[in-house]
Amino acid sequence: MTRYDFAAIQEKWKARWESDRAWSAPRLPAGEKRYVLEMFPYPSGDMHMGHVENFTIGDVIARYWTKRGYDVLHPFGFDAFGLPAENAAIKRGTPPREWTYANIERFTASCKTLAFAYDWDRSFATCDPSYYRWNQWLFLKLFERGLAYRAEAKVNWCPSCRTVLANEQLSEGVCWRCGSTPQVRDLEQWFFRTTAYAQRLLDDMDQLSWTDAVLTMQRNWIGRSDGAVVNFTIAQTGDTVPIFTTRPDTLYGATFFVFAPEHPIAHTLAMRAGKIANYEAFVEEVRRQSDIDRMAMTSQRRAFDLEATAVNPLNGEEIPVFASDYVLMGYGTGAIMAVPAHDQRDFEFARQYGIPIRVVVQPEDAEVLDPDTMEEAYEGQGHLVNSGPFDGNPSYEAKRLIGLHLKNHTLGYPDTQYRLRDWLVSRQRYWGTPFPIVHCPSCGVVPVPEEQLPVELPEVVDYQPTGDAVSPLATATDWVKVDCPTCGGEARRETDTMDTFVDSSWYFLRFCDARNDAAPFDPETVNAWMPVEQYTGGTDHAVMHLIYARFITKFLNDIGLVDATEPFMRLLNQGWITKGGKAMSKSLGNVVEPAEVIEPYGADTLRLHMMFIGPPEAPYDWPEEGAQACIGSFRFLERVWRLVVENAAELSGAGEPSGSSELRKLIHRKLAVITDDYDRYSFNTAVARLMELQAALTKAVGTAPAAEVREGVDVLLHGLAPFCPYVTEELWERLGGTGSIHKAAWPEVDRDLARVERVTMVVQVDSKVRDRIEVDAGIGEQDAVALALASENVRRHLPGEPAKVIARPPRLVNLLTG
Ligand code: ANZ
Ligand code: ZN
């Protein structure tokens, strides 16, 4: 066989690796470990190119670390509960279970063809009862500690998904899944108390090697604000009303007071004013708006005059009291002091209703602020004016002083608030984990005892959700009817199911010990593998999955089951793969499936192409010409194939090379930079250097000693192995290599040979010498030209782009203008 028959090679090694269970990690690592994980997929059909990129990145890292001698855990499974299965069931009449497992089978087959080095012995789908039973266990643990609770709340109802959504699951105000605008409803729902962990979620970000973009999104989502609680008094009733402000330094500038319309004291004041009917209509109107609309900057504010005054505790001033939509009941204390000179929303309100504006912070080195001519609030820092004894203090200092003063006179105290809300986990849908909860008419809310888990999801006849916020599970009447675990009386099961983000909040722990049927996992095993050193996935999970997984890890750490306080130490966000500029999706009909490339060119070509097109983080628009775009990678593998197969006899008999020929220097220099590229996850440059190495070796065949060429071929195959597992394994075998190349150690760089000599490169413009630059003797053409173009003197003589470039690295670059 001299032709590069990728299909035959694929079949041969796929079967071999599968029967050898080549990537099954031991129960516990023996030496130093690495846990490599890609965000597990939702099996909505076969995989597409976005998955291929994500999984190839993780796979290359896992394979590289294996070759570097680590014990690697690289598991894979399916995030298999969720709406698409139900929607498919409604459309086609196939039960969600059948549809899901059929997709999992197809998806798994594609993973195997693409040679992803997964530990299939640890694989599972979250819809397996042997998995979701532990979701129920987790729920019980949270419930026991008061971290899972039921409450009536104003929630976001997606009219098209017909379920509620957590706040994290709104993106820019619309449903993350379908893009519909949610409605506001009052429902009794289950929550997890994520807010109890707000500060730790912030503090522990120090430990994480994540991009600044994702860390910033997390920080903003948690939204810590430092300020003070200040007690105002309603003059007419004597009620004390605390407010939260981030700017206690502006207390003298408060000219009115605003309640959230839902505030109970606002209600009493409306009653007192004899305006209760109007008030209730007003509240009703406001409640129909989402919080996001209420917070938005608009010039129109809904206001209700409560005909009362509030006393400012610092200066005794009485200011008018309103209720308005822009104050939210769920943040701070649900009431504010309004400082129109220094808060834009208060400013708009004051202008709209003709309320006085008083400047109390004067910016340094600026014109004196005039309330009559100001066009917007001044929200910055400065020094205090119109603020009695605090005049002249810098505002940041006044913030501290006034906080202290409030505390000393028991008028308030310094305080911290978080924007983060508790995680709403109830869903009114069928295809999810049932809550282990029973509602009993005499005992109330009763948890199902641990030994009765799992509460299995029953089959139902109709998956159509009922529009009035009741899960289709309610139609499984035999299942719903149950004896109360406490009193034995007739009770009914909770019919909501858990948010599928509960499933993904701890799956990485289960992977460590996936077949445990006595516990969610054995702590010893989890502690040996956790944390995940390298996690790869899209930025779309920056605040959803990643906040939840961090929260659950901290909780399990608190109850002594997990040593790690953070689940994912390093996060790589791969770039989006698009087609025609749009994210690949079934509904747009622009999905490119891997088979389009695998059939004509093979899995190795597809993997190589994916790593060659750019850095892992860069987006890539799948080209119009489709599979044809991969031809360059395919031709390269053909050249590698010929280099080895046509010279197999001499190469396999070759001994150890010695000496320090130019070829050996080149080989070790390449090895040094390729190793560095791998360590930096700069896979596209590693591929480029492997291509250069192959070209040099092909040229050297026949002239250089066979032992030296063999040394270079080994570097080539080892360097290529994580990208192209099939062809490298086959060629390794043909050269008589021992065992699998994928378990063989990464080659050692000979530092003496790799030492880079410096030479002087002459740079010419139109054949006139314009610069001399010190460069590495091994510099490539691209780098040489880039250096030449960056030279200042060259730029002076070459205003635009050169028309032609003659590059003879490392000695000469000549740039021609015409
Ligand atoms: C007076 C003030 C003066 C304020 C000033 C700001 C600037 P963050 O940073 O988001 O935490 N606020 C407090 N509770 C609120 C609620 N329930 N609904 C709407 N707004 C509320 O914002 C805190 C600031 O938002 C608080 O500080 C308060 O306005 C407002 F020059 O108090 B401030
Ligand atoms: Zn009972």
Total Cβ atoms within 10 A of residue 416 = 13
Token reading at 468: 């009035």
In the prediction, which pLDDT does 584 show? 79
Q: Which ligand number lies closest to the CA of residue 491?
A: 2
* Ligand 1 atom 1, closest CA: 245
Helix (H) or strand (E) holding 498: strand 497-498
Strands 33-38 and 71-73: parallel
Return contacts of 478-487, CB within 8 angstroms, 24+ apart: 482/438, 484/438, 484/440, 484/442, 484/443, 484/446, 485/438, 485/446, 485/447, 485/448, 485/449, 485/452, 486/440, 486/443, 486/446, 487/440, 487/442, 487/443
The pLDDT assigned to 85 comes to: 85
> Cβ < 6 Å from ligand 1: which residues?
225, 244-247, 250, 260, 326-328, 331-332, 334, 336-337, 339, 342-343, 417
Give residue 468's pLDDT: 67
Single-letter amino acid code for the residue at 780: G
Q: For residue 397, which amino acid is it?
A: E
What's the confidence (pLDDT) of residue 467? 61
Three-state DSSP state, 412: strand
Please give the pLDDT value at position 465: 65
CB 55 within 8 A of CB 74: no
* Ligand nearest to the backbone CA of 220: 1
Q: How far is the CA of 747 from the centre of ligand 2 (A)?
A: 67
750 φ/ψ angles, rounded to the nearest 5 degrees: -85, 105
Residues 668-723: tens digit of each pLDDT: 999 999 999 999 999 999 999 999 999 999 999 999 999 999 999 999 999 999 99
Residue nearest to atom 27 of ligand 1 (CA): 245
For the CA of 341, the closest atom of ligand 1 is 31
DSSP, res 35 = E
The pLDDT of residue 509: 98
Mutate to test the pocket of ligand 1, among 293, 319, 327, 336 (most ligand atoms within 8 A of CB): 336
Give Cα separations from 466 to 430, 514, 759 (angstroms).
Answer: 11, 36, 77
Please classify residue 92 by burial: count the beta carbons closer than 10 Å to its beta carbon, then call 0-12 exposed, 13-18 middle and 19+ buried.
Answer: exposed
Burial class of residue 78, CB neighbours in 10 A (0-12, 13-18, 19+): buried
Count of helix runs (H) and strand runs (E) in the chain:
28, 32
The number of the ligand nearest the C-alpha atom of 226 reads: 1
| Segments in 354-423 forming alpha helices (H) | 395-408
Cα 353-358-362 angle, rounded to 5 deg: 140
| Alpha-carbon torsion, ordered 36, 38, 43, 44, to 10 deg | -170
> Contact at 8 Å (CB) between 4 and 727?
yes
- Please name the residue whose Cα sits nearest to atom 7 of ligand 1: 343
pLDDT of residue 163: 81
Express the helix, strand and coil content of the chain in percent, nearest 5 each.
40, 20, 40
Answer for the pair 754, 671: CB distance below 8 angstroms, yes or no: yes
For the stretch 393-402, contacts whose Cβ atoms lie closer than 8 Å and that sit 24 or more positions apart, written own/partner, are 393/249, 395/249, 395/250, 395/361, 396/249, 398/248, 398/249, 399/227, 399/247, 399/248, 399/249, 402/228, 402/248, 402/249, 402/251, 402/314
Q: Which residues contact 160 (CB under 8 A, 6 or more apart)?
A: 175, 178, 180
* Separation CA 312–CA 319 (nearest Å): 8
Task: Give the whole-angstrom CA distance, residue 441 versus residue 766.
Answer: 93
pLDDT at residue 580, rounded to an integer: 87
Q: How far apart are CA 620 and CA 816, in angstroms?
A: 33
Do the strands 577-579 and 758-765 form a parallel or antiparallel pair, or are they unpaired?
unpaired
Q: Are the beta carbons of 552 and 505 closer than 8 angstroms? A: yes
Residue with tokens 């997984």: 549
Query: What pLDDT does 540 receive?
Result: 81
Q: Which residue among 290, 319, 329, 331 has the greatest number of ligand 1 atoms within 8 angstroms of its CB, and so is best to mutate?
A: 331
Among 587, 578, 652, 564, smallest CA distance to 613 is for 578
3-state secondary structure 206-262: HHCECCHHHHHHHHHHHCEEEEEEEEEEECCCCCEEEEEECCHHHHHHCCEEEECCC
H-helix or E-strand spanning residue 622: strand 620-622
Residues 6+ apart with CB under 8 A from 403: 228, 248, 412, 413, 414
Low-confidence residues in the chain, pLDDT < 70: 1, 297-299, 465-469
pLDDT at residue number 557? 98
Whole-angstrom Cα distance, residue 140 to residue 146?
10
What Å distances lie between residue 782 and 692, 725, 765, CA to CA? 12, 29, 17
Q: What is the pLDDT of residue 271?
A: 96
Tell me what pLDDT residue 184 has.
80
Pocket test for ligand 1, best of 224, 225, 229, 247 (most atoms within 8 A of CB): 247
Residue to substitute in 219, 246, 387, 396 for testing ligand 1 pocket (most ligand atoms within 8 angstroms of CB): 246
* Diameter over CA atoms, the chain: 103
Asked whether 616 and 57 are in contact (CB, 8 A), the reply is yes
CA 339 to ligand 1: nearest atom:
3
Q: Which two tokens stand for residue 609?
A: 């192409």
3-state secondary structure of 574: coil
Cα of 485 vs centre of ligand 2, distance in Å, is 7
Report in angstroms the alpha-carbon separations of 435 from 427, 488, 500: 10, 19, 12
Q: pLDDT at position 1, please?
A: 52
Nearest by Cα to 201 from 396, 3, 418: 418
Give residue 48's Cα distance to chain centre. Answer: 19
Helix (H) or strand (E) segment spanning residue 149: strand 148-158
Bridge-based pairing state of the strands 812-816 and 758-765:
parallel
Taking each helix axis from N to C end, the angle separating 96-113 and 6-20, rounded to the nearest 10 degrees, works out to 110
Residue 77 tokens read as 């499974």
Cβ neighbours of 811 (radius 10 Å): 13
Q: Whose CA is nearest to atom 29 of ligand 1?
A: 245
Strand blocks (E) in 728-796: 758-765, 768-776
> What does pLDDT average to over the chain?
93
**Position in ligand 1 atom list of the atom nearest CA 225:** 11
At 617 the pLDDT is 93
At residue 378, what is the residue type? Y
